């Protein structure tokens, strides 16, 4: 009986080119990672100006130009060798890293998956050296005329790794990551001038200057910023953050740096949000830049090749320092809501004031001489949408419903009922609806026959508007309100990238908006449903919502409809008349998904007589 010989695999070292391609999978995740590595090399080389030029969202060309020290002719080829670096000389240096790069992996990894050309000249040299790699293979090297500094061009990224190229996201998505990376790099070094050009359009040109000017220029035109200051035994906290009414619904609005290095940290993001306390509603996140200075020996940046994740020996103490700094900043004048004296129009009737937040219908709560006012969002509060009062139904023959063009709850004949799923047997109220009371000017208490409905007026109105808007976007029938004068304002780099992705659908949703040079946009019309709000505030909030919702799996059309419905719906404190409240519930019960708003929060709670009887032991 013969046996088949066992073929044992041979252990052997991998070829250098294969090693570099494997390393590229960690270092070069997407075009934004290439920009980060190359710009950090420029900063380590003492550059005082860096120009970032991107074509076709990085898949065609990434070009970085700096005026740093340059690379000597006899070292330029060595720079493309694996683990070759000028930033470490021994083990002690690894314990106290002060430079951005130190692993010596970026250049060989990038060159192995692209066509890379570098031109570099030092101040001591009369000419520069040009070196070209294709797929990690040296193609040419020669002297060339060039100013002092380094220019590196990365063309056709992933041309020889089609699997990696196939998994790149859409150009608009890659553009967003590129814009965020370029913004983070510019925020990290305010002493360095930066310019960033994406697909032929200059997104920003930031001269060297103060941290406040750089944050204001890149994260919001004319935003009022709160300065962060704090110091403890382990960290010095600095930076600038926006006020509560400038918060966004995703974490992309703030940037965190340790010793000038941009990092990702959910812990410190939480500290930023927690510092605002109840001034920041759940689900919203602050904007701004958080700058932390920590002893380098307490920071381990050698965690991942991308170097955006770090380990800290005293993370809890740093968290507490951030929390204190934010709390102190948000106690400044003009941030915390205050009350101003007002004039009351009538006194409370005996025994008929608000009790426990509940009040009967048709009666206003009385607070002597006080009206609510917030300095930080006065403009927003004065523009709150309040639906007009409508006459009561005549003998029950007329039906109140929500006008999807204006958002008003009006009397205008019976609306067409939305189709009801065959699996749902909810028939709605069998008898007329009447308002029983209100709770906290947010919850409506209505009765229909022997059933009681507790309705959240905001989520209910949002659901009604959302379904109407989805239908009207498909029909291209959303009416826009022309502005008396166009409004021009500047978007942040990330918002501008989102705008480029969504502008066509935004203009089908009642807006008339177009680029106006650089990151400026011009609004000529807004949807009628949002015409009572600040145009620039509405558009920026919609763009922020789009970024968050599309990342969570929403398609673009639903994200826009959801954001607009949320902005137009009546809010807590917006008082509906009895007829408006009744009409809102009638229209809600005709919606396809009547049970929740687009965010998933419930719109109403139904309590029937038998439920109450069981609670009181009557059955």
For every residue of 372-420, which 3-state class applies, written as one string?
EECCCCHHHHHCCCCCCCCCCCCCCCCCEEECCCCCCEEECCCCCCCCC
Q: Could you give phi then psi for residue 584, rounded to 5 degrees?
A: -65, -45
pLDDT at 296 over 70: yes
> DSSP letters along 316-366, please?
HHHHHHHHHHHHHHTTSTTTS-EEEE---SSPPPTT-S-BTTEE-TT----
Instruction: Please write the tens of the pLDDT for every residue from 527-540.
Output: 888 888 889 888 98
Determine which of 278-287, 324-333, 454-463, 576-585 has the lowest per-residue pLDDT on average: 278-287
The better pLDDT of the pair 230, 610 is held by 230
262's tokens: 């941009």
- Tell me what pLDDT residue 415 has: 39
Determine which of 39-43, 219-223, 317-321, 524-528 has the lowest per-residue pLDDT on average: 219-223
Instruction: Please write the tens of the pLDDT for every residue from 108-122.
Output: 889 989 999 999 999
CA 557/CA 550 separation, integer angstroms: 10
- Tell me what pLDDT residue 395 has: 42
444's tokens: 């409506």
- Tell me what pLDDT residue 432 has: 76
- Tell me what pLDDT residue 293 has: 93
The better pLDDT of the pair 548, 143 is held by 143
CA 609/CA 613 separation, integer angstroms: 6
80 alpha-carbon distance from chain centroid: 37
pLDDT at 313 over 90: no
> Which helix (DSSP H) or strand (DSSP E) does residue 138 occupy?
strand 137-144
Cα three-residue angle 190-272-290, rounded to 5 degrees? 10
Ordered by where they begin, the domains of the chain are 16-206 (3.30.565.10), 211-329 (3.30.230.10), 400-619 (3.30.1540.20)
pLDDT at 414 over 90: no
CA distances from 432 to 332, 400, 428, 582 (A): 52, 12, 10, 9
The better pLDDT of the pair 395, 281 is held by 281
- Tell me what pLDDT residue 27 has: 65
Q: Which of 238, 579, 234 has its CA nearest to residue 401?
A: 579
- Residue written as tokens 């009561």? 392
Reading phi first (left if > 0) and then psi (alpha if -120 to 50, else beta), residue 275 is in alpha
Averaged pLDDT score across all residues of the chain:
78
DSSP structure class, residue 11: P
CA distances from 251 to 23, 150, 247, 248, 272 (A): 29, 34, 9, 7, 10
- Tell me what pLDDT residue 372 has: 29
CA distances from 570 to 257, 340, 402, 462, 587 (A): 39, 24, 12, 8, 15
Instruction: Please write the tens of the pLDDT for every residue from 362-377.
Output: 433 322 222 223 223 3
71 Cβ contact list (under 8 Å, min separation 6)? 79, 118, 120, 122, 129, 150
pLDDT at 382 over 80: no
CA 558/CA 141 separation, integer angstroms: 53
Over residues 499-516, the mean pLDDT reads 90
């Amino acid at each position: 009986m013969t046996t088949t010989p066992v073929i044992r695999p041979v252990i052997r070292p991998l070829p250098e080119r294969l090693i570099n391609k494997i390393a590229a999978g960690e270092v070069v995740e997407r075009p934004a990672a290439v920009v980060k590595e190359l710009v950090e090399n420029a900063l380590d080389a003492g550059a005082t100006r860096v120009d970032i030029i991107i074509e076709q969202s990085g898949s065609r060309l990434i070009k970085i130009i700096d005026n740093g020290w340059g690379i000597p002719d006899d070292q330029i080829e060595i720079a493309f060798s694996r683990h070759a670096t000028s930033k470490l000389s021994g083990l002690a240096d690894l314990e106290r890293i002060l430079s951005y790069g130190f692993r010596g992996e970026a250049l060989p990894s990038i060159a192995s998956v692209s066509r890379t050309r570098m031109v570099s000249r030092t101040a001591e040299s009369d000419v520069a050296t040009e070196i070209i790699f294709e797929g990690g293979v040296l193609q040419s090297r020669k002297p060339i005329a060039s100013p002092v500094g380094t220019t590196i061009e990365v063309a056709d990224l992933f041309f020889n790794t089609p699997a990696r190229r196939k998994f790149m996201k859409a150009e608009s998505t890659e553009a967003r990551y590129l814009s965020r990376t370029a913004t983070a790099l510019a925020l990290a070094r305010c002493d360095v001038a930066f310019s960033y050009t994406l697909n032929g359009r200059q997104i920003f040109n930031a001269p060297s200057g103060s941290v406040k000017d750089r944050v204001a220029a890149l994260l919001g035109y004319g935003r009022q910023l709160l300065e962060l200051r704090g110091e403890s035994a382990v960290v010095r906290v600095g930076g600038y953050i926006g006020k509560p009414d400038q918060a966004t619904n995703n974490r992309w609005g703030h940037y965190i740096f340790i010793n000038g290095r941009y990092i990702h940290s959910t812990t410190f993001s939480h500290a930023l949000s927690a510092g605002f306390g109840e001034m920041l509603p759940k689900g919203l996140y602050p904007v701004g830049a958080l700058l932390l200075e920590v002893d380098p020996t307490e920071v381990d940046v050698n965690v991942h090749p991308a170097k955006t994740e770090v380990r800290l020996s005293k993370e809890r103490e740093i968290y507490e320092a951030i929390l204190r700094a934010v709390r102190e900043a948000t106690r400044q004048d003009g941030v915390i809501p205050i009350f101003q004296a007002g004039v009351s129009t009538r006194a409370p009737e005996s025994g008929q004031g608000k009790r426990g937040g509940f009040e009967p219908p048709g009666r206003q709560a009385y607070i002597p001489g006080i009206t609510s006012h917030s300095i930080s969002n006065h403009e927003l509060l004065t523009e709150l949408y309040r639906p007009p009062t409508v006459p009561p139904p005549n003998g029950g023959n007329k039906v109140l419903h929500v006008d999807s063009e204006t958002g008003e709850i009006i009397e205008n004949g019976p609306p067409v009922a939305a189709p009801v799923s065959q699996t749902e047997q909810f028939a709605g109220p069998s008898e007329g609806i009447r308002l029983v009371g209100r709770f906290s000017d947010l919850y409506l208490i209505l009765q229909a026959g022997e059933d009681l409905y507790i309705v959240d007026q905001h989520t209910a109105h949002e659901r009604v508007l959302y379904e109407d808007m989805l239908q009207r976007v498909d029909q291209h029938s959303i009416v826009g309100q022309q502005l008396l004068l166009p409004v021009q304002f500047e978007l942040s780099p990330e918002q501008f990238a989102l705008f480029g992705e969504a502008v066509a659908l935004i203009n089908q949703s009642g807006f008339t908006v177009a680029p106006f040079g650089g990151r400026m946009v011009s609004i000529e019309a807004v949807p009628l449903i949002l015409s009572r709000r600040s145009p620039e505030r509405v558009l920026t909030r919609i763009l922020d919502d789009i970024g968050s919702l599309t990342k969570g799996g929403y398609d673009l059309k639903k994200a826009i409809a959801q954001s607009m419905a949320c902005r137009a719906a009546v809010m807590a404190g917006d008082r509906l008349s009895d007829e408006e409240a009744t009409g809102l519930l009638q229209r809600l019960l005709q919606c396809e998904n009547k049970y929740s708003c687009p965010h998933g929060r419930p719109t109403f709670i139904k309590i029937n007589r038998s439920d109450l009887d069981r609670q009181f032991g009557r059955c």
